[in-house]
Amino acid sequence: MMARNIFILVMVLLWTLPAYAQEEVNVRAGVHPSYTRIVFDWPNVPQYQVQKEGDALTVAFQSPARMDLADILKRDLPNISDAAILSSDANSITVSITIPPGSRFRDFSTDGRVILDIYNPDGEQNLAAIKTDTQPVEPEKTEPAPEVQEQPAPQIDVPSAELPVAEEKQTEEPQQTVDSEILALPEIDAHSILLSATKSFGMSVFQRENWLWLVLDDPTVNIPPQLDGPNKDKFEEFQKYEVTGGIAYRIRLPENFYVYAKGGGLTWDIVVTPYQSQSRNPIGLEREFDDSDLIRGASLVWPSDQTRKVLEFKDPSIGDTIQVVTTDFSDVYSGEAREFVELSKLNSAVGLALIPKVDDIEISRLSDRVMITRPGGLALTRPKDFRALELNQQVDAVIPNPYLEEAQNLPPMTRIYNFAAWEMGGLQALDENQTLLMAGIPNKNQNGQVTDLITLAKLNIANRKSQEALGFLRVAEDMFPDIEKSPEYLALRGAASTMAGRHDDALTDLFREELEPFEEVNYWKAYALAHVEDWQQAFQVMPKRSDVLKEYPDQIRIPATLAMTEVLLRGGEPEMADALLNEMGELLEDQQNPENAAWRYLQGEMERQKGNVGDAIDIWTELISDKDDLYRVKSSLALTRLEQEQERLDTDGVIDRLEALRYAWRGDQLETLINYRLAMAYVDKGDFLKGLTLMRNAATFTPGTKISEEITQKLTQIFRDIFANDVIANISPLDAISLYDEFKELTPPGPEGDIVTLKLAERLASADLLGRATELLQTQVTRRLSGEEKVKTAIRLAGIQLLDDKPNGTMRTLDLAEAELERITNISSALRSEYDTEVSLLRARALSDLGKTGAALTLLSGLSGDKNVMSLKADLAWKDGRWGDAADFIQDLIYNEDIALNRPINEYQAELILSRAIALNL
């Protein structure tokens, strides 16, 4: 009957708080010879920014967290005088760290950690007596040193300062040590660790962090190792561990000590020395590939036929598994540490030691080798030449144009690179030149060795061997740490890191203050910025001239110029970009050149920006059939978007094409972009659940990048628009609640969040999903809201409970509304009266549903006789069979209509008259 209309009550806002979880972030510190390290252990590294103002470093994380700075505050750290949390809220946390005047710092993130290094103002300190309370984690990654031969080599100038004793370099991976006192470098000769028995036994000897491990493959050999040397009392005791099939010992070593082995079988002599040997010949790991599997299908092979056993045990400090291969012979060893995707190889002086990163690593001893693999094979990089970095993202955005026309008379540019001289005959002469340089290194002092290593780095950079160049630079810095203060060294490392794809490392070097006077470095800044998707800053810093690039060797000029061309195209500057593309066309006449596809792809973008849509489509269509995987995918993506803009491809066609591209390229920002475009196509089609799911996944592919940040913002915006605007009315109730449940963490705070929750509840109620609507509103009433918002929401909730035939729940909710109304003091009497009336109407209906119609009518008798009250009275009396009362109440409604005989009556008035007649008759 008409009475149900009474319960479509006033729409109200709900006050919701965002559901966010504060992560526990461990903060710890470590002391190193030239710097102090602070590590923030995040489960997932958020966006963050480090700024220096005076003597304070401010680290602002764009994520909520709980941090305890006790480990920093309780210790007397050399470069940290104070630390405090400046602010913490639902979206961020900011930490302030006070450092000495003049201190430099660096920051980077890796493996869920944000690392901050504060360098000593006066260089290296003596750390003999400094305690460190850091925690055990993964070992540091190292690069193998280059092999050398005894031949003379050319010389170049290096700083003449006396070189210190070789010191282990801290790599970009954070190093952590077991709780202990760091041993000072003892000024002593080598020490020996002796092991002997009456029967032959095999061993594996390796280093992990500052621990030396000796693993014996015969558990019956019960004579412990004996340490001998002039300062043996400075070493700790051996720790013994039981191993299935063997026995293990470990001892803590000072930093920067090397370990070698002699003997074997019955008697072993493990030498611990501060001096590095140049005559060792390790047996390296080799790679084997199954050509039928282009992604996995690989195995590692240790080519030794002199192995005994494979043993496995847990590291007591870290808790992960170590697998070792033992041998009878001291000259059978795998050498320096190496990192692979699924395992780590430790620095081994005898045998082989591995740390699996997955559970199904298999080690098999064969007659002539040791095979390391897993079901389906390992994921290893195929051996091939490293090519310069290709462009990462489709050219489809234009940024504001600060570009000015290039001057006719260009001023001189301050230079720091001389690639033409460093090329030294090119790739044809590279091997010969390297052999010449490396052969003479053992016969030189440290200054000469560093000089040749820098020359080797320049030689490799100029010939586009960036990874090799970084290796030589790393070894040079290990030998002479102060070389990092040299602008030329920073420029070399920045260029090599750029070409090697280590763009974050490159930017750290290239933006150092020491390189500001060198304008040429701005090319490399732009090069690196382009590959981290910071196109606007790349455009701002890039010199708007190409004369210097023309002097570079082709193997450097081509990738650098292509990167600059994309920067210009993204900056909306097609004229200079067109000139550069024409230059590249002359250099890339050979269609087999690896940069040819990149050049043609950018030509397509050039034509698009000129308005030559047909030419752009032709170029990209041709590239779709090209054998270059990267530009085949990028061209298909660009072509899809262009045809969509030209209305040559509908939404279903876009989805079909992008679904085919979705698995064609993996692992970088191009994959992110493909999934983002596909997600937007599903959103345009109205499939919001699939679209937002794809968008959320896309944001996780390349965390910390600008494109991931933009996708996250778009994801949040679409979610809010769906629920805050009228879009939700076009979504089925089941899809709406599924979308909310899946993405409720995106619910905005404040009044906007109230609208989201309210509209969802109303959408569910309109579809008779009253239970879910009740759950949403009940959570707000009982846990979130207070004051007038709680009263309004409780009244709406009571109405939905009545519709759901829950009169007892209605009564309890109305009790909450009345109790909250009593606590409100700053409310007008008119508004309070309005709320009281609404509560009474709902309570009366609930009493009637509970069979207490008399009580309900008594409650209503105290209210003013407006239309709503009279209608409810009539409805309750009718429902309970009180026909006389019903007739009287309907009569009041008829009088209220002011019906006259000389005027036609409407449908509602006719219904009232008929209802009263029926009541009188009954």
- Residue 836: is its pLDDT beyond 90? no
Per-residue pLDDT band at 110 (split at 50, 70, 90): low
Distance CA 796, CA 12 (A): 8
- Residue 137: is its pLDDT beyond 70? no
Residue 349: predicted pLDDT: 94
Please compute the mean of the pLDDT values over residues 291-306 and round it to a whole number.
Answer: 79
Per-residue pLDDT tens for 598-622? 888 888 888 888 888 899 899 888 8
Distance CA 874, CA 732 (A): 36
Distance CA 395, CA 417 (A): 29
Residue 506: predicted pLDDT: 92
Per-residue pLDDT tens for 172-197? 333 333 333 333 333 446 789 999 88
Percent of the chain scored above 90 by pLDDT? 18
- Residue 108: is its pLDDT beyond 80? no
Residue 256: predicted pLDDT: 73
Per-residue pLDDT band at 295 (split at 50, 70, 90): low
Residue 750: predicted pLDDT: 66
pTM of the model: 0.46
Per-residue pLDDT tens for 516-551? 999 999 999 999 988 877 888 999 999 988 888 888
- Residue 661: is its pLDDT beyond 90? no
Residue 751: predicted pLDDT: 63
Q: What is the DSSP letter of 341?
A: S
CB 127 within 8 A of CB 31: yes
CB 338 within 8 A of CB 285: yes
Per-residue pLDDT band at 7 (split at 50, 70, 90): very low
- Residue 161: is its pLDDT beyond 60? no
Tokens describing residue 108: 């980077």
Distance CA 699, CA 716 (A): 12
- Residue 302: is its pLDDT beyond 70? yes
Residue 398: predicted pLDDT: 29
Distance CA 190, CA 228 (A): 9
Q: Give the residue, 21 or 60, on which the prediction is more confident.
A: 60
- Residue 285: is its pLDDT beyond 50? yes
CA of 256: how far to CAs of 30, 163, 259, 479, in Å? 17, 15, 10, 11
Q: Give the residue, 107 or 552, on which the prediction is more confident.
A: 552
Residue 148: predicted pLDDT: 32
Residue 294: predicted pLDDT: 55
Name 450's Cβ contacts closer than 8 Å, sequence gap at least 6.
158, 163, 476, 479, 480, 483
Per-residue pLDDT band at 749 (split at 50, 70, 90): low
Per-residue pLDDT band at 153 (split at 50, 70, 90): very low
Q: Considering only the C-alpha atoms of the chain, give the largest distance between any 2 of them, rounded to a whole number of Å.
A: 128
Q: What is the DSSP letter of 75?
A: S
Per-residue pLDDT tens for 705-734? 778 888 888 888 888 787 777 777 777 777
Distance CA 523, CA 533 (A): 16
Q: In sequence order, what are the beta bridge partners of 195?
A: 268
Per-residue pLDDT band at 452 (split at 50, 70, 90): confident
Alpha helices, DSSP H, located in 767-882: 770-779, 787-803, 807-823, 829-849, 853-861, 867-879
Residue 179: predicted pLDDT: 33
Residue 165: predicted pLDDT: 30
Residue 510: predicted pLDDT: 94
- Residue 637: is its pLDDT beyond 80? yes
